[in-house]
Chains A and B, each alone.
Chain A
Amino acid sequence: EVQLVQSGAEVKKPGESLKISCKGSGYSFTNYWIGWVRQMPGKGLEWMGIIYPGDSKTRYSPSLQGQVTISADKSITTAYLQWNSLRASDTAMYYCARPYPCGGDCYYFDYWGQGTLVTVSS
């Protein structure tokens, strides 16, 4: 059974760093992209970026490039989303999800993590 299990909720202050995780199991972790989706309070879903754990190739949303870093450790089948300096506007629920190929450049998120709530407040 495919599972994506995320790390727990975090409460941080502005300017602090943070790394949240998403552990994949039940499938070949290095053969599928894994992505991150942001949902700010009361708002919709925002595609952030993806990583291919097999070679660590990444793709970011232009609006978020430079603000976050996506990485993966294939030895422990875990993907990460990292901030060096958090802002209050980073307060959101963050989901990891697996993009599954449906032909050509077609990908859909077939499995999702349970979400990690990040709260940034002074």
Chain B
Amino acid sequence: DIQMTQSPSSLSASVGDRVTITCRASQSISYYLHWYQQRPGKAPKLLIYAASSLQSGVPSRFSGSGSGTDFTLTISSLQPEDFATYYCQQSYSTPPYTFGQGTKLEIK
């Protein structure tokens, strides 16, 4: 299985801050990397697909980049509703399409 490692595991930031979360794959996964946001008690929500494509309806302050093994999710100016847990997921080649362990974004 392809292993996905996110860093940091948790992060404290303030409203208005620029935040970057990193996801690293154990082997090259081309651009087959997706980002989700999960608020407490809710189902995950797709933010970014195929490394850098913004899902319809997602605010433009979210952006993604990377290819191969290293990827980033950036939130340009944190809003109160952005405090949540973020997961990356790969969908390269054959399943299982594994998730990263998550990054919990908390209010400083």
Q: Which residues of A contact B (CB under 8 A)?
A: 37, 44-47, 49-50, 59-63, 95, 97, 99-100, 102-110, 112-115
Contacts and interface: CB of A to CB of B under 8 A. Distances in A.
B49 A108 contact: yes
A106 B91 contact: yes
B43 A114 contact: yes
A1 B65 CA distance: 30
Interface residues on B, range: 20 to 34
Interface in B16-75: 31-32, 34, 36, 38, 43-46, 49-50, 53, 55
Given A62-B96, A104-B32, A113-B43, 12 more contacts: A37-B44, A44-B85, A44-B99, A45-B38, A45-B44, A47-B96, A60-B96, A95-B43, A105-B94, A108-B49, A110-B49, A115-B43
Given A44-B87, A112-B44, A102 B93 contact: no
A105 to B, nearest CB: 6
A44 B101 CA distance: 6
Contacts of B89: 45, 47, 108-109
Task: Give the secondary structure class of A's interface.
Answer: strand
B44 A106 contact: no
A114 B38 CA distance: 12
Interface of B: 1, 31-32, 34, 36, 38, 43-46, 49-50, 53, 55, 85, 87, 89, 91-102
Contacts of B36: 45, 109
A105 B91 contact: yes
B99 A109 contact: no
